[in-house]
Every structure is written in structure tokens, then in C-alpha cells.
Amino acid sequence: MTHQAGLHRLFSEFLAKNWQEYNLHHLRGQLNQPSFLLDPGRKRLGFWEKGSRTIGMSLELMLNHSQEEVLDTLKHEMAHQYADEVLLPRGVAETPHGSAFRYACRQLGIDTSARYQPSGEASPLVRRIEKLLRLAESQNFHEAEAAMAKARTLMEKYEVEIGIEQTEYRYAYIGKPMVQRSTVNKVLSSLLQQFFQVRIVWLPSELLVSQKKVWIMEAMGSAANLEIAQYVHAYLLRELEHLWNQHRRRRPDQKGRSLKRDFQIGVLLGFQGKLAADQETSLNAAGKSLMHLKQEKLEGFMRDRYPRLARSRAGQFRKTSAFEAGLEHGGNIDLRSGIKRGRNRGRLIEG
């Protein structure tokens, strides 16, 4: 048996075993087992195909992501199967996430709100922000700074225009599973929470193939804010590496993991200070009041998903010369590369 065939067998057996367990314990054994397909495409995490009675799962998801994410997707597709084959009369259809699907989610013990999955095409809001942020590619720092401030104002204006009743919250996994949550990771997740209208929890899990214990970052928020948070997270990770490499060329005496960490934390805190200064002047009193109410609603959504939540401190850091250099760089960061149309996709710890 080839390595690839062995992996496919391992994954199929894993899916079948967990499908049977969920069907027995959550759905009283009412479903008949479907076929399982490993999908090599990257456009979707999973799918349920009623005609062929097939649950498809992304091969990339199973290879590179945690068991938590894989099983979450499996239960989501089982909910579609249960809605189609048990709850809905023969020949009757409903919207993909209609009342039958939501009931199935409750039976399976998963959130009735759909997990956010990027469609591959940016939303109108993100396209408008992308257009603004292209200005930040200019070598003129003041133009870049103005573009960043304008983009943040647009995000907040969008939030104010969408009333509380119309705001629906979802969740998404951000970044890749990591063996250890470093101080840099913690500060970055704190930045996302503070300025990008999302809430973060860290979930313990393990990788499917290696069985290695890992942490995964889950974000909760509106679909638009999750999309933007995913971009900002990916962008800042790239920028941290880029700025550190630049700094080392200027200061070859500064090297090693601890100084790199100090520098990158300084970058993030510098960026944090810049965003805080912009935020103070971007909304009027009514807008700030509405944003506060939305934050309370989002906090409620998070508590409903995770009633037993442990808070995590951002971690300790040293005010070394590398930290001070990073702080200066962070104050000059702008999201200059634009939001790309194709995005990367126990005890609970809040960001």
C-alpha cells in the first residue's frame, strides 16, 4: 500500500468511526452511513451531497489542521444529512441553514450559527477596504497612515450602519495549529480582540496524522469582521518576519530567539498604540454607544459557546533595545498589501 493510499484509509476510517459515534449518541442511530470522499480542492472545508449520499471532507483540512477542526466540519455536514434524510419530508427542500439544519445542529451539540467559511471572493466591504489600503503601498508614509485611518473609519461606519438585530455572529479558526502559544501569539490575539471586533479563544487539540498536541485559535464575530481579522492576522505574521530581517541587517549584533521575540512584541505594541490613537477620534458618542452594545452581544455569543472560559494573560516581555526598536517599527505599520481575494483559512483559553 502506498503512503497516499494509507493516509486515505486512515482518514476514511477516522471519519467513519466518529460518524458512527455521533449518529449513535446524538441522533439515536437514525442515519444510514454515507460514503466518505476526500476532496483535494481548497474551496470548501466539507460538503454533503444528497443525491449520492456522500460527505466530502477537504484533504488539506485533514492533513494540516487539528482534530477539533476536522470533527467540527464532520458534524456540520452530518447536520445537513440529518436535515435531508430524517427531518424533511421526501421531496421537500429548505435553505442550506434553515430550521431543520439548526435543529440538527442542536442535536449534535454544535453551534446553530454556521461556521464562517471564506467564499473565495471578497465581500463588498472588504473590496472597498482593499482599494483604500492599496494607497498604503506608496513610499510616502503619511499617505499610508491616512489610508489606514480611513480604512478603520470605514470598518466602524459599516458596524454602525448594521443594527444590532441584523448582526449575526459566527466563528472561524485563524492561522495554523501551534505546539506552543508564545507571548507574540498572545499579544497578536489580544490586538485582534481590541481593535477588530472579534473575540478569541484558544482550544487544545491534536493533529490527526502525528497525534501531536496543539493549540488552535478560534475567533468569533460577524462574517465581515472575521474576514478582516483573518487578513490582519496573516499580514502581521508576515510583517513581523520582514521587519525582524530588516532590523538584523541594520543591527547584526542583535540575534537569537529572545531578542527576536522582544522586537516582535514591540512591533505589535507599537501598532496597538497607533490603532488606539486612531480609535479615540473615529466615532461620535452615538456610534461608540452602539459599538459598546454590539460588543456586549458578542460577549454573550462567546459565553453561550464557552460557558467555562479561563482568561489568559498576554504574557511577560522585556524592554530591551530590540523591544524599543520593534515599538518604533510598530508605530509605522500600515496594512499595505491589501486584502487578498484568496485567504488562508478541555480547558479553554481566551486570547
Q: Would the pLDDT of 290 be above 70?
A: no
The answer on pLDDT for 327 being more than 60 is no
Residues 6+ away with beta carbon under 8 Å from 13: none
> Which is higher by pLDDT, 48 or 300?
48
Are 27 and 107 in contact by the 8 Å Cβ rule? The answer is: yes
Strand pairing category for 213-221 and 170-178: antiparallel
Least confident of 25-29, 189-193, 252-256, 265-269: 252-256
pLDDT band at 95 (very low <50, low <70, confident <90, very high): confident
Q: Hey, how many other C-beta atoms are within 10 angstroms of the C-beta on 279?
A: 17
* Mean pLDDT, residues 329-342 taken together: 44
For the chain, what are the domain ranges? 3-108, 124-350
Query: Residue 233's pLDDT is what?
Result: 86
Split at pLDDT 50, 70, 90, the class of 113 is low
Please state the three-class secondary structure of the chain as a single string: CCHHHHHHHHHHHHHHHHHHHHHHHHCCCCCCCCEEEEECCCCCCEEEECCCCEEEEEHHHHHHCEHHHHHHHHHHHHHHHHHHHHHCCCCCCCCCCCHHHHHHHHHHCCCCCCCCCCCCCCCHHHHHHHHHHHHHHCCCHHHHHHHHHHHHHHHHHHHHHCCCCCCCCEEEEEEEEECCCCHHHHHHHHHHHHHCCCEEEEEEEEECCCCCEEEEEEEEECHHHHHHHHHHHHHHHHHHHHHHHHHHHHCCCCCCHHHHHHHHHHHHHHHHHHHHHHHHCCCCHHHHHHHHHHHHHHHHHHHHHCCCCEECCCCCCCCCHHHHHHHHHHCCCCCCCCCCCCCCCCCCEEC
Q: What nine digits make up the cell of 138?
A: 506608496
pLDDT grade for 163, boundaries at 50, 70 and 90: low
| Percentage of the residues of the chain whose pLDDT score is greater than 90 | 24
**Res. 315 pLDDT band, cuts 50 70 90:** very low
How does residue 129 score in pLDDT terms, banded at 50, 70 and 90? low
User: Which range has highest mean pLDDT (109-113, 211-215, 294-298)?
Assistant: 211-215
Handedness of CA 96, 97, 100, 103 (dihedral sign): positive
Query: Is the CATH code 3.30.830.10 the one for domain 3-108?
Result: no
Find where cell 537569537 sits: 256
> What residue type is assigned to position 280 of the chain?
E
pLDDT for position 94: 78
Alpha carbon distance, N-terminus to C-terminus of the chain: 43
Greater model confidence, 336 or 241: 241
Please give the pLDDT value at position 135.
58
φ, ψ at 79 (rounded to 5°): -65, -40
Amino acid at 24: L
pLDDT greater than 50 at residue 139: no
For residue 27, give the amino acid letter: L
Strand pairing report for 46-49 and 170-178: unpaired
The band of 88, judged by pLDDT with boundaries at 50, 70 and 90, is: confident
* pLDDT at res. 211: 84
- Work out the average pLDDT over 227-246: 82
Which residue would you say has higher pLDDT here, 240 or 336?
A: 240
Q: Which three cell numbers stand for residue 82?
A: 440529518
